[in-house]
Amino acid sequence: MTIDIGTKFITLIGTPLSQSFSARMQNRGYEAAGLNMCYFYTETDAAHLEEIMNGIRYMPSFAGCAVTKPCKVSVLPYLDELDPLCAKMQACNTVKRTEDNRLIGYNTDGVGFYTSLIKETDFQPENAVCFCLGAGGAGRAICSVLAYHGVKKIYITDIFEESAAALTADINQYFAPVAEQVPFGDHSHLSECGLVINASGIGMGKTMGTSPVPKEVLTSNMLCFDACYNPAKTQFLMDAETQGARILNGLGMCLYQGVAQIEIWTGKEAPVDAMREELLAITQGR
User: Does 76 lie in the same domain as 60?
Assistant: yes
User: Does 121 lie in the same domain as 35?
Assistant: no
User: Does 172 lie in the same domain as 94?
Assistant: no
User: Does 201 lie in the same domain as 120?
Assistant: yes
Taking the whole predicted model, whether its pTM rises above 0.95 is answered as: no
CATH number, domain containing residue 229: 3.40.50.720
Query: Which of these is catalytic: 72, 153, 206, 268?
Result: 72
To the query of whether residue 72 is one of the catalytic residues in this protein, the response is yes
**Residue 63: pLDDT over 90:** yes
pLDDT digits (tens, 9 = 90+) for 205-263: 899 999 999 999 999 999 999 999 999 999 999 999 999 999 999 999 999 999 999 99
User: Does 145 lie in the same domain as 31?
Assistant: no
User: Is residue 138 one of the residues assigned to a domain?
Assistant: yes
**Mean pLDDT rounded to a whole number for the chain:** 96
User: Does 131 lie in the same domain as 78?
Assistant: no
Please state the rounded mean pLDDT for residues 148-161.
97
pLDDT at 130: 98
Q: How far apart are CA 27 and CA 124, in angstroms?
A: 33
User: Judging by DSSP bridges, how do beta strands 103-106 and 179-181 pair with one another?
Assistant: unpaired
pLDDT digits (tens, 9 = 90+) for 108-133: 999 999 999 999 999 999 999 999 99
User: Does 58 lie in the same domain as 181?
Assistant: no
Please state the rounded mean pLDDT for residues 74-87.
96
Q: How far apart are CA 30 and CA 63, in angstroms?
A: 13
User: Does 80 lie in the same domain as 25?
Assistant: yes
User: Does 103 lie in the same domain as 21?
Assistant: yes
Number of domains comprising the chain: 2
Three-class secondary structure assignment of the chain: CCCCCCCEEEEEEECCCCCCCHHHHHHHHHHHHCCCEEEEEEECCHHHHHHHHHHHHCCCCEEEEEECCCCCCCCHHHCCEECHHHHHHCCCCEEEECCCCCEEEECCHHHHHHHHHHHHCCCCCCCCEEEEECCCHHHHHHHHHHHHCCCCEEEEECCCHHHHHHHHHHHHHHCCCCEEECCCCCCCCHHHCCEEEECCCECEHHHCCCCCCCHHHCCCCCEEEECCCCCCCCHHHHHHHHCCCEEECCHHHHHHHHHHHHHHHHCCCCCHHHHHHHHHHHHCCC
Q: How far apart are CA 202 and CA 165, in angstroms?
A: 20
Residue-range definition of the domain harbouring residue 186 = 110-249
